[in-house]
Amino acid sequence: MQNPEVTSRLAALDAVLWAIDNRHELDDLALASANEAELVAELQRLHGFTDEQCGFVVTSSARVLTQQYRNKIAAEREEALKDLRD
In this predicted model, what pLDDT tens digit does every residue of 22-61 receive, in sequence order?
A: 989 998 998 899 988 999 999 999 999 999 999 989 887 6
Q: For domain 4-85, give the CATH superfamily.
A: Topoisomerase, domain 3 (1.10.268.10)
Residue-wise pLDDT for 12-21, tens only, equals 999 999 998 9
- What pTM does this model have? 0.76
SS3 content of the chain, % helix, strand, coil (to 5): 80, 0, 20
Q: What is the four-CA torsion angle of 58, 83, 68, 43, rounded to 10 degrees?
A: -20
Cα separations (Å) of 41 from 2, 3, 4, 74, 75? 28, 28, 25, 26, 29
Q: Taking the domains of the chain in order of start, what are their residue ranges?
A: 4-85
